[in-house]
Amino acid sequence: MQPLQNKVQFEQLFKDNWELMYQSALYKLKDPSLAEDIVQDIFLDLWKRKDKLVLQSEIKVYLLTAVKYSVMKCLDEVAKRQESQLEIASGFYSEEVLSFEEIYNEIEVAIEKIPPKARMVFKMNKLEGMNVNEIAEKLQLSPQTVHNQLSKSMKILRGELKHIAPLISMIFLN
């Protein structure tokens, strides 16, 4: 194939092949957005190399081969990302897993480091399940003061329990 001579040729190439390439990528990826991205990237690369590119085979073969390799690369990246996430998750449950009692004790120690008024608000909210308005009414405080006390408590706990933060956030630091 001769190098693409102009924009009109390129646009025609795009119109003639985009759908086939997209369907090919979509069939393998099952994700329309990723399939579109792959096809767009291939055409962008083709446009950038338009003056130097000389193909030994038919353009459709070249484009579908590019889709095939791009899809393989994408699937490989997705697999690596998932593997990495699994490794991170399994790190929380490795040999260094704390027993329930150890976690409970660490939480109790950390809660004791919260100033008394903020600790009372924290316990009422997180351990007794009371909402901000209920706490404000019971302690005769403004709702904003309750929010401030909860915020102060959370900041202290996050600092004290950062080594088990993912687990703690699942329990009550949201």
- 158 and 110 share a domain? yes
Give me the amino acid identity at 14: F
- 86 and 11 share a domain? yes
Residue by residue, pLDDT tens for the chain (174 residues) are 455 667 888 888 899 999 999 999 999 888 899 999 999 999 998 888 887 877 666 888 889 889 999 999 988 888 888 777 666 655 555 445 566 677 778 888 888 999 999 999 988 988 888 999 999 999 999 999 999 999 999 888 888 877 765 555 555 544
Taking the complete model, does pTM exceed 0.75, yes or no? no
Determine the pLDDT at residue 96: 52
Determine the pLDDT at residue 173: 47
- The domain spanning residue 113 has which CATH number? 1.10.10.10
Structural domain span for residue 38 = 7-91
Tell me the pLDDT tens digit for each residue of 51-70.
787 766 688 888 988 999 99
Domain closes at, from 91, 125, 156: 91
- 62 and 80 share a domain? yes
Three-class HEC string of 52-94: CCCCCCCHHHHHHHHHHHHHHHHHHHHHHHHHHHHHHHHHCCC
Domain closes at, from 91, 118, 146: 91
Determine the pLDDT at residue 92: 52
Is residue 152 in some structural domain? Answer: yes
First-to-last alpha carbon distance for the chain, in angstroms, is 60
Domain closes at, from 67, 91, 115: 91
